[in-house]
Structure 1
Amino acid sequence: MGRKIVLLSDGTGNSAAKVWRTNVWRTFEALDLSGNDQVALYDDGVGTSSFKPMAILGGAFGLGLRRNVIALYKFACRNYHSADDELFGFGFSRGAFTIRIVIGLIVSQGLVKADSEAELDSLAKAAYRAYRRARYKHLKLERPYQAIRNLFPPKYPPKEVRTHVKIRFVGVWDTVAAYGMPISEMTAGIHKYLWPIELPDDHRPHPDIMRACQALALDEERTTFHPQLWDESDEESGGGKTADPQGRRFIKDERVSQVWFAGVHTNVGGGYPDDALAYIPFVWMITEAQRCGLRFKSDYANQPDDPDLMRADPDTFKNAISKRDKDGRLYDPRKGLGGYYRYGPRKLVPHFYPDSKKEEDDEIEVQRAKIHESVFRRIDNHAQAYAPVGLPPFYDVVKDTGEIVSPDEFRIAAGREPFETRKAAAQRALAQEHVWNWVWARRILYFATVGATLWLVMFPLLSSAQKVDELTSPFRMISDFVRFAGSFLPDFAQTWVEGYARAPLWFAVMAGLVTALLYLSSKVASRTSSVMASIWGKTSHAPKGLPDNFVYHLRSNRFYIGFHEGLKKKIAPLFFAVMFVYLAAGLVSHFLFDVFDVAGATCEGSKPPLVELKAPAQGIDPKETKSSPVDFGPSDLCVATGIMLTRGAHYRATIVPVEPVQAWSNGIWHYDFPIGGYPTIAPPPWYIRLYYSLFLPFRREFNHDWFRIVLRFGEVGGEETFYDPDPTDPVIEFPFRPTRDGELFVFVNDAVIGIPGLYRAFYRNNTGTARLTIERLKGR
């Protein structure tokens, strides 16, 4: 008899160390591992690294997936001994994505054999690369990287590979994309144009998978958590859907089962303090796994006295069933700052019912949805204000017993009428469009709120308000409150404190607008729930039939639908792909320039001898303490002054315009700016700052403003000091102390391209000249 190899991958930020555990951990904990015939590996989710920066990146973007996939794959390779062995896989959220990738890797490449752990690690990585090449036919930026990496690959495929591995069961809770970006179009842009990071386009379960189950959240409202469903189109032709002699259908007879449960993402996968709802899909999942031969802990009667012969305890099913509660707490993941997740409740749309499709963010195309009976029992019981908005007009009901029935056959209790007949479901789906008008309105309010918040955040960075504006404002009290609140904030927040305090009226307007939009959104949310509750309750004031108003006609307009679909699926992903390429080019350029700059490739030293200024002292000619004037301008990449500086000595730099006096100018827009750039307290107009912000990734010195004067000490090493202009003083004069011996260089802070020969690409368009004089002061 073969062994059962169980692979488990948890969701983002979830691990064995967490206080509130998920259904993946509960499954691992429930396994009977007292013998050698069942082995299991529980893998912490991404975002659980002890190295906090990596944990943050893993939690935010899903980094670490590849490592988790290879670890699980190696465990399967290490423990697979014969053709009788069976594989089981469980995962939640990004862990579900991970498990589906692991299973795809196994059915694509088989399981490799190795004579050592080092060889196994090498072959596992090679198998993963081969899987990606086979599944993602149009790799983009990955190609050059792969070409270099494959110069020294292990011998692959190896001599011995176990193929046609028996994948006995795959059970996942609410699969979401592993690599998540703040905006779904960002993820789509990366996947489509740059680097494949989503599941392969073919979502059909491989024929080698004998049983696949997915529990899905009906009430999740975050578009970022859009579920990744299996394609069941091939299953409709018979794929295991058999009937017993009485004509009844049971879910255990299916090969692929996807069932919808009440709750949001984590209500279904587990991980909340009050997890009573999560135990419902948990019991369903382990029941199906047990039917496939997986053994869980049991407290069967008449246990032998010998502890070595006793089975594990406590009983898995008694424990889990006793914790289920259909009326358990339904959490709101968009509460507080979570409200900035894009709003989009899930709407199940049958693929054979195209009239209901409107290509909205929240639509999920399904074959024929299976809804767990606990959803309808929760609606019927009225213990909680529960009115799901996304149920389709056509569906089946999955009972606790595993029987699949139509709406006409499902009754809450014997002797009662069906909870919702097929005809009533179709009518409810039509009336439901009134609710989706409110959902559309709330989505508009969401985008308005995000826009107003961005305006509030960006205002201090783009504002040209002066200190005097605060002192003369009739709303000075607001400024005082802002400064009082700012005294409790860290230093990096002072930019925003200053910006808001100098423009108190604008701050009050923007903060009030955000508050008003949030309040209005809450009222629309309340209206959405009340209208949907009236539809489920069949009250006299419940809407009936399709809406006949502007919003519905707009949502149903084919030109609007086409525009929305094109914007979401083509224009926005392409825009974000171009944006990411641009940002990456800027960062790479900046890195390359820094390497060349520190190495001395950008500043060419003067030919000796250099002028070394003497410290003022009795008998020293004052002319020997002061340098000859050196002309420089914003078009110069780096000007060598011919002045030798002494480490730690005191110097004073004086900069004056060259007659005839003229402002410096940027040649692209021919926009004039003061020598040394605009002072912080007197910034340029907002449109100029917006224009320059486009080139921030290429700015020579990230942390300093445009066209600041920079003094550099030595040809190599990158030791520098900066001057921030004072608008109240027309003379630029400031002291400095070199941090090392070396020649003095001077330049201004503009954008650069880190490729030799292109360093001055942005500098060439600048005009203007200034004159620098250095004087040595008393002291060392």
Structure 2
Amino acid sequence: MHRRIIVCLDGTWETPQEKTNVYKFYNNISLDNATDGWEYITGYYPGLGTNGSFPLLGGIFGYGISDQIINAYEFICKNYKASHDEIWLIGFSRGAYAARSLSGMIYNVGLLPKDNLSKSKQAYELYRDRCDASRPMNELAIKFRQDNQCRMPLIHFLGCFDTVGALGVPKLPWYLGGSTFYTLFLGLHGFHDTKLTPIVRNAYHAISIHDQRAWFSPTLMHFAQVAPDHHQSLEQVWFPGMHGDVGGQEVGAYNNLLSCHSLHWMMDRARKNGLKFKNNDSACSSADHHFIYDDSYDSSIIYKLMPRQDRVIEKDQVTNNYTLSQLYENGKFLNYLTREQLDMYKSKTLEDFYRKYNEQ
């Protein structure tokens, strides 16, 4: 029986009790193997800052991100058997960073045999090394894969909810030590680049339109620089609401209408790629879900250390134009929101997009 190995990585301070979209996605996966002839193997990894000796450091500065990535990598190595097995990676916020980094690590070092996982930290360090010789197609990486009999799989599905910053950590201004922080910390943990790796088949990214926190600027996906041997699809779709609305972050807001729509979209894409869920009806009923407005910029004095900053919707990468398909439901947000609700947001990102769309 073929295997679908599905790894779900949650955002900062997020646990199953918070019921984020990553957890809802994970919890709704059907494990009934009789449904489609696939064996489903699932793993859920809570966000940083939820355990360990230094949870506050994990939450604020990303302490423990390496362990999260390595643990997920080892989980895949233990369960991957053959080339027809599928690997699925799902993440929110910093968990989205971890999912994308994990994809990069696998492309760099491959998958170790499950009886040789003592080398997993060495594999991660090789991936993090930024010298030219350690890049995937260069001598150190090739030698590591050959010496350790690593296999090179494909990532069938990469689904991310609002990847932010280089690591989802604050991009502090210079007067708060930002330059020093980035030099010391992001040199170790920042993205090598934001392009998809050639081993990714299908990538999906749900992005918040209205979040204005400067240190939560989105890290967009781009097509692989090295042309893959297979067709690579990428959908990046913008949703109304804040970072937490797209990822389902708010504690106690289990029936958040905005979060439901981004989850519905991601589950729909997963179904189209073959995944089976316990409940195939993930539609958002207005009777069961409620609009919740929460200005994330005002949620902490820390965020106010930097001015509001609108996000920017770039041109579609395929057409090199602004297209309505970049917006969820082609921008028909009034199908489930009122004009008054949409006008509550201070961000002008949507207005700026429509201006550019109409001018082209």
Contact 2:11 2:95 in 1 (8 A): yes
Q: Which residue of 2 aligns with 1:113?
A: 113
User: What is the alpha-carbon root mean square deviation over aligned residues?
Assistant: 3.3
Give 3-state SS (helix, strand or coil) of 2:51's partner.
coil
The letter of the residue matching 2:306 is R
Q: Which residue of 1 aligns with 2:63?
A: 63
1:105 CA displacement: 0.6
Q: Which residue of 2 aligns with 1:26?
A: 24
Q: Which residue of 1 aligns with 2:334?
A: 378
**How has the CA–CA distance of structure 1 residues 50 and 189 changed in structure 2, closer, same or farther, with 3 Å as cutoff?**
closer
1:196 CA displacement: 3.1
Give unpaired runs (5+ residues) of structure 2: 135-142
1:156 CA displacement: 4.8
Quick check: 1:198 aligned with 2:190?
yes
Contact 2:322 2:357 in 1 (8 A): no
Quick check: 1:345 aligned with 2:309?
yes
Give 3-state SS (helix, strand or coil) of 2:348's partner.
coil
Q: Which residue of 1 aligns with 2:220?
A: 229
Counterparts of 2:348 and 2:241 in 1: how far apart (Å)? 12
**How has the CA–CA distance of structure 1 residues 222 and 62 changed in structure 2, closer, same or farther, with 3 Å as cutoff?**
same
Q: Which residue of 2 aligns with 1:261?
A: 239
Counterparts of 1:111 and 1:382 in 2: how far apart (Å)? 50
Counterparts of 1:336 and 1:166 in 2: how far apart (Å)? 40
Percent of pairs with identical residues: 28
Contact 1:233 1:367 in 2 (8 A): no
Counterparts of 2:173 and 2:40 in 1: how far apart (Å)? 39
Counterparts of 1:188 and 1:197 in 2: how far apart (Å)? 15
Quick check: 1:6 aligned with 2:2?
no
Q: Which residue of 1 aligns with 2:148?
A: 159
Contact 2:198 2:224 in 1 (8 A): no
TM-score by structure 1 length?
0.39
Quick check: 1:77 aligned with 2:68?
no
**How has the CA–CA distance of structure 1 residues 394 and 136 changed in structure 2, closer, same or farther, with 3 Å as cutoff?**
farther
The letter of the residue matching 1:335 is D
Counterparts of 1:76 and 1:64 in 2: how far apart (Å)? 19
Match for 2:281 among 305, 318, 330?
A: 318
**1:730-769 matches, cutoff 5 A:** none
**1:400-549 matches, cutoff 5 A:** 422-423=357-358, 426=359
Q: Which residue of 2 aligns with 1:691?
A: none
Contact 2:11 2:48 in 1 (8 A): yes
The letter of the residue matching 1:318 is D
Contact 1:217 1:261 in 2 (8 A): yes
Counterparts of 1:213 and 1:189 in 2: how far apart (Å)? 33
Give 3-state SS (helix, strand or coil) of 2:42's partner.
strand
Q: Which residue of 2 aligns with 1:127?
A: 123
Q: Which residue of 2 aligns with 1:296?
A: 277
Counterparts of 2:233 and 2:62 in 1: how far apart (Å)? 30
1:86 CA displacement: 0.6
The structure that has the greater radius of gyration is 1
Q: Which residue of 2 aligns with 1:168?
A: 156
**How has the CA–CA distance of structure 1 residues 328 and 336 changed in structure 2, closer, same or farther, with 3 Å as cutoff?**
closer
Contact 2:5 2:86 in 1 (8 A): yes
Q: Which residue of 1 aligns with 2:138?
A: none
1:349 CA displacement: 5.4
1:58 CA displacement: 0.7
Contact 2:298 2:304 in 1 (8 A): no
1:333 CA displacement: 1.7
**How has the CA–CA distance of structure 1 residues 394 and 224 changed in structure 2, closer, same or farther, with 3 Å as cutoff?**
closer
1:113 CA displacement: 0.4
The letter of the residue matching 1:178 is L
1:327 CA displacement: 7.0
Give 3-state SS (helix, strand or coil) of 1:161's partner.
coil
Counterparts of 2:334 and 2:214 in 1: how far apart (Å)? 24
Counterparts of 1:324 and 1:106 in 2: how far apart (Å)? 43
Counterparts of 1:136 and 1:266 in 2: how far apart (Å)? 36
Contact 1:394 1:422 in 2 (8 A): yes
Counterparts of 2:19 and 2:167 in 1: how far apart (Å)? 20
Quick check: 1:210 aligned with 2:173?
no
Contact 1:63 1:179 in 2 (8 A): no
Give unpaired runs (5+ residues) of structure 1: 140-154, 241-253, 298-314, 353-365, 396-419, 428-780
